[in-house]
Amino acid sequence: MSLSRTKRISSSNSVRSSSGSRRLSGFGPVQGGFSGISLSSSSLYAGTNGHHHGLGAPLASLSVNKSLLAPLNLEIDPNLSMSRAHEKEQIKSLNNRFATFIDKVRYLEQQNKMLETKLELLQGQGVSRSNVEPLFEAYMAGLRRQMDLVNNDKTKLDGELRNMQGLVEDYKHKYEDEINKRNNLENDFVILKKDVDSAYLVKADLEDKVGALTDEINFLRNVYEEELRELQASIKDTSVVVQMDNSRSLNMEQIVAEVKSQYEEIAARSREEAEAWYKNKFDQMSVQASQFGDELRIVKGEIAEINRLISRLQSEIEAVKAQRASLENQLAEAEERGELAVKEAKARIRDLEEALQRSKQDMARQLREYQDLMNLKLALDIEIATYRKLLEGEEDRWLWLFHSDSTTAESSPECTSFQTNKNKLREAYLQCYLHNLMFMKPEIYHDLFIHPFSSAYLIQGQRGYHTPWSDNRDISENYTRLK
């Protein structure tokens, strides 16, 4: 392949140009006539009848111009050392970047493996998640059974409560009836007490009347006795013969005695009748009072028993209400716990699904990045292989040319510097490729070629294609061969 094509490749890299000829950044005026090769449109090998290895027919004859074999007296470019130092620094920087890129690729592979492991773990958790649902369903079924039992107990307790309320109403009616009876008896007792009081007043009045009549009888008795004594005294002092009619004789003593006996009999009969009536009335009232007292005691006992029963029923009702409230609270708590557990399970499932989705998205993104990197690596490998083929073609052409010239120019200084110039040509092609990458694909230039053996990776010798994960020993050997 001609050097004019090499000139075209290097010109696309925007290498330094002067006076219509472009020089590679790795070339400069050094000792030896071969290092000052011009890359203009007129080829160095125009004197060899324009025959090129791999592009035309082999040379039929070779003529050598002795003046061209003489060493050129060229001065050393003062910027050469600086340029080479700068290029070495660039190569070191690129090697470091390439190493970082390889580490990044390895890190991405590790992350990819981790994500695959997480995906498998999450998928396994997804399988176990389906086993959680029967547990929750069994738990919820148990809660439903408990709720049914509680509802049955609640229905039973409601029936008992209604029965108790009916009994309470019955006892309330009985209590009200007994209260009414008691009130009636108290009213009767008050009425009887009023009658007793009126009878006692009548008794007192009759006793007063008896006393007054007794006093009147005594007074009349005294009056009659006094009149009788006066009459006897007047009769004793007067002697009068009186002939009296015996048929009409009056016995005053007998009359007085009869009147006295009549009054005494009337008084005694009145006293006996009053005493009998009062005694009978008192006995009746005592019997009624004792009966009323007994009935009152019985009613009071029944009322106390009803009050105790009401208190007991009220306490039982309160206990049933408290038990019902406790069961309702337990049921509400169980429902809340069940709902909370279901919500937590759903939230956990949602979180796991979101985590799985995020993991899938991350894995897909990293797979896309990995695919992009692999595509980019493939393109770079193709480009590297192209440059390697170019280098191999140039090496073969140089070897063929110098093998042909070895018979006539064996002692020439150009032959002695062939190996050095060949290595410089390789370095020049490496610089051409790096400059081309820097200007045409700066993102690749800054992100990829940062491995210490990037030059060995870019220009693998005759060992063939190597990936960034190849053995460093082979890369260093190839790099040593290129150097």
The pLDDT tens digits of the residues spanning 402-450 come to 666 555 444 444 444 555 555 655 565 566 555 555 555 555 555 444 4
Do residues 475 and 466 make contact, with C-beta atoms less than 8 angstroms apart? yes
DSSP 450: B
Domain ranges of the chain: 3-55+76-129+363-482, 147-235+251-351
Of 447, 480, 449, 471, whose CA–CA distance to 381 is shortest?
449
Q: Which residues contact 19 (CB under 8 A, 6 or more apart)?
A: none
How far apart are the C-alpha atoms of 203 and 212, rounded to whole Å? 14
At residue 258 the predicted structure's pLDDT band, cuts being 50, 70 and 90, is confident
CA atoms within 13 A on the CB side of 178: 19
What pLDDT score does 185 carry? 84
What pLDDT score does 253 carry? 75
Put residue 312 in one of left, alpha, beta given phi > 0 → left and psi -120 to 50 → alpha: alpha
How far apart are the C-alpha atoms of 238 and 85, rounded to whole Å? 206
What pLDDT score does 438 carry? 57
How far apart are the C-alpha atoms of 5 and 24, rounded to whole Å? 13
pLDDT average, residue stretch 119-138: 71
How far apart are the C-alpha atoms of 5 and 41, rounded to whole Å? 9
At residue 373 the predicted structure's pLDDT band, cuts being 50, 70 and 90, is confident
Which range, 102-111, 220-229, 247-256, 286-295, has the best average confidence (pLDDT)?
A: 102-111
Instruction: Give the predicted TM-score (pTM) of the model.
Output: 0.26
Question: What pLDDT digit, counting tens, does each position of 227-241 carry?
Answer: 778 777 776 655 544
Share of the chain above pLDDT 70, in %: 60
How far apart are the C-alpha atoms of 102 and 472, rounded to whole Å? 12
- Which 3 state secondary structure label does DSSP give 21? strand
* β-sheet bridge partners, residue 450: 98
What pLDDT score does 151 carry? 86
pLDDT average, residue stretch 71-81: 58
How far apart are the C-alpha atoms of 3 and 16, rounded to whole Å? 16
pLDDT average, residue stretch 267-294: 77
What count of other Cβ atoms lies within 10 Å of the Cβ of residue 467? Answer: 10
- With 70 as the cut, is the pLDDT of residue 249 above it? no
Q: Would you list the DSSP string of 413-434?
A: HHHHTHHHHHHHHHHHHHHHHH
What pLDDT score does 240 carry? 47
Question: What pLDDT digit, counting tens, does each position of 171-189 carry?
Answer: 888 888 888 888 888 888 8
User: Where is pLDDT greater, at 95 or 476?
Assistant: 95
Share of the chain above pLDDT 90, in %: 0
Question: What pLDDT digit, counting tens, does each position of 342-352 carry?
Answer: 888 888 888 88
- Give the chain's end-to-end CA distance (angstroms, integer): 22
Domain 147-235+251-351 has CATH 1.10.287: yes
pLDDT average, residue stretch 200-225: 83
What pLDDT score does 450 carry? 44
- At position 112, the amino acid (one-letter code) is N
- With 70 as the cut, is the pLDDT of residue 469 above it? no
How far apart are the C-alpha atoms of 320 and 327, rounded to whole Å? 10
What pLDDT score does 132 carry? 66
- With 50 as the cut, is the pLDDT of residue 467 above it? no
What count of other Cβ atoms lies within 10 Å of the Cβ of residue 37? Answer: 19
pLDDT average, residue stretch 301-319: 83
Please provide the average confidence, as pLDDT, over all residues in the chain. 69
Q: Would you list the DSSP string of 259-319?
A: HHHHHHHHHHHHHHHHHHHHHHHHHHHHHHHHHHHHHHHHHHHHHHHHHHHHHHHHHHHHH
pLDDT average, residue stretch 449-475: 40
* β-sheet bridge partners, residue 18: 21
